[in-house]
Each structure stands twice: as C-alpha cells, then as structure tokens.
Amino acid sequence: MKQKENLELIKRNTEEVISEHALSSLLKKKKSPVAYCGYEISGPVHLGHLVTITKLLDLQEAGFKIKILLADVHTLLNKKNPEVKKWENSLKATGIKAEFVLGSSFQFKEKYQFDVMSLAQEITISRGVKSMQMLARNIENATISQIWYPLMQIADIKHLKADVALGGIDQRKIHVLGKDMSKKLNHDFIAVHTPLITSLKGPGQKMSSSIPGSLVSITNSDTEIKNIISKSYCPQGEIKDNPLLQIARLIIFPKFKKLEIYRQEKFGGNVVYMSYEELENDFTNEKLHPADLKQSVAFYLEEIIAPIRESFKS
C-alpha cells in the first residue's frame, strides 16, 4: 500500500513520467533509490525553480535519496555566471535534505569526459541543437559549448548514479536523448517532468528575470511580491494558461495542503479550500474573484520565500 501511495505522490502535478511502469518497478525493488535534479546556479531562485524543488520534496517524502547538482560548469557553458554558495544556501532553506554535488567536482575526470566524447560520436549536431531549444540563449546561433551541454547533462545522470532524473518539461528532449543513449552509457533512468508556469504577464510571453513582472524571485520583498502578483495575468473564470492557478496547484497546495481566502462578507466571506480542485471549480464558476485569489497567492508566496530570501543573502 505504501508503494502505491508513494507512486501517486511522485506522479502528482507532473507533466509525464517516462515510464510509470519503470517507476513502479523501481519502488518495489529499491529501498532508497536516487533522484537527481540539476540547476544552473546563476541569479536567484525563482518561481520556476520552486516547481521542481516542490517535486524533489515529494520524492524525498517517498523515500528517495536526493542529489542536487550545482551545475557550475553547465552555467558557464550557457554563458552565465555561477553563484555556488548562494544557491546551496537557498536550496537548503526549502527543507530539502539533499547531497549537493558541484559539477566541477567530477565533470573533468577522465571517465566522465570519455563518456561525453562517446555520446558526441553518436548524437548528431542537429539533434543536439534541438534538445537545447527551450533552454539556451540565442540558440539560432548555437555555439559548440551549448551543444556540449546536453551531452554533459546525460553523462551527469550516470555519474551521479541517478535512478530518476527530474526536470521541467523543457528538459524532455535532453532526457529522451539520454534514454536513447542508455545502452551506449550502460545506464538507464526514469525521467520525471513537471509543468512550466506561464509568465505572470500572460501566455505567449517569456518568464525571465530580465522582463519585469514576468516572475517572482526570492530576492523580491513582500511588498514587491504583492505588487507583481496584483498585476499578474489572471482573467476571471479562465483556467488555461493561468499562472496564479498554476502557482496554487504546483507550489502552494503541496506545501500547505490548503489555501485560505480572506474577504468581506459582502463578497462571500472567508473560505478555506482543502484541495486545488475545489479552488479551480469556484474560480471557473466565478465564485472566486481574481483579486481575492491574487491576494491569497501573494500571502503564501511570501511565507515560502521569506526564509529562502534570507539564506540567499548570506
């Protein structure tokens, strides 16, 4: 029964699991399987990262040993500057009890580099570029370093001895490529993908730290969080591509198990939602106004972000 509960916990709020059957078998066979997620450690943690961090906490609860790759080399390859200590402190403040591994601590070793070169012999330039389309800057003018990036990410899974590789759905092409190369590397794994949160400015726009109002970062103050959320895209009754509902489903409910709305009696009075489905139903039927949802989401994000913000400063 516990295995079934753990399987459902891991699957919760995921875009896909490749494959669910393999995951079920893993839970039966291995007492403490290893789940890994890697992060480019540039700039502060933001909403997008909180989705995979929340899923790592689910995996931890399900009995997995968590390994987090602080991908300093990947960060440099993608033309960004790594901030190791700030990221490690921030991730620890989320409650994850993980083994933190610095990419440069093993990625220059001979066996690792031979594995990357072996992958380079098998994977076409075209497929390497396509695997990075959702991740790299200026991919239309991709450099060799940006094509080297996915090869290293595949090798990471083997060298970290990961049974499960976790990432956003934007990582899918790299993970599928890695699974196709499993015989070449003599290491297979299960890929778990989480959804991406829509830009707070609305669908069709990019969530980026360089675009004001498109995301919430852990460096934002409580006042800034309130301001950003109050101006966020959240059309009344609209579910599709609604970032406020996505934040509630993917980040708030998994942590707090509820979402409370405080409002005057003339607007319906206070209400406590004990499941996301209840919240979505009321929002769809316009029993919950976007302004009230925004106020509540901002409050919960402040609760989540406050301890992480302090850790990032240190």
CB-based contact 15:169 (threshold 8 Å)? yes
Measured CA to CA in angstroms, residue 109 lies from 114, 158, 159, 184 at distances of: 9, 14, 11, 19
DSSP symbols for 199-240: PTT-TTS---TTSTTS--BTTS-HHHHHHHHHTS---TT--T
* CATH class (in words) of the domain with range 2-194: alpha beta
**pLDDT of residue 199 exceeding 80:** yes
What pLDDT, on a 0 to 100 scale, did the predictor assign at position 205?
Answer: 82
What value does the mean pLDDT of the chain take? 93
In this structure, whether the domain defined by 222-313 belongs to CATH 3.40.50.1100 is answered with no
* 259-261 and 164-168 beta bridge pairing: unpaired
Higher pLDDT: 130 or 80? It is: 80
> Which residue shows structure tokens 């890929």?
191
Domain ranges (residues) in the chain: 2-194, 222-313
Backbone angles phi, psi at 34, to 5 degrees: -105, 130
What's the pTM value of the predicted model, to 2 decimals?
0.94
The region of weakest confidence among 121-135, 188-202, 232-246 is: 121-135
Measured CA to CA in angstroms, residue 4 lies from 54, 63, 165 at distances of: 20, 13, 20
CB-based contact 181:119 (threshold 8 Å)? yes
Q: How far is CA 86 from its chain centroid?
A: 18
The mean pLDDT of 263-267, rounded to a whole number, is 85
**pLDDT of residue 89 exceeding 60:** yes
What pLDDT, on a 0 to 100 scale, did the predictor assign at position 143?
Answer: 78
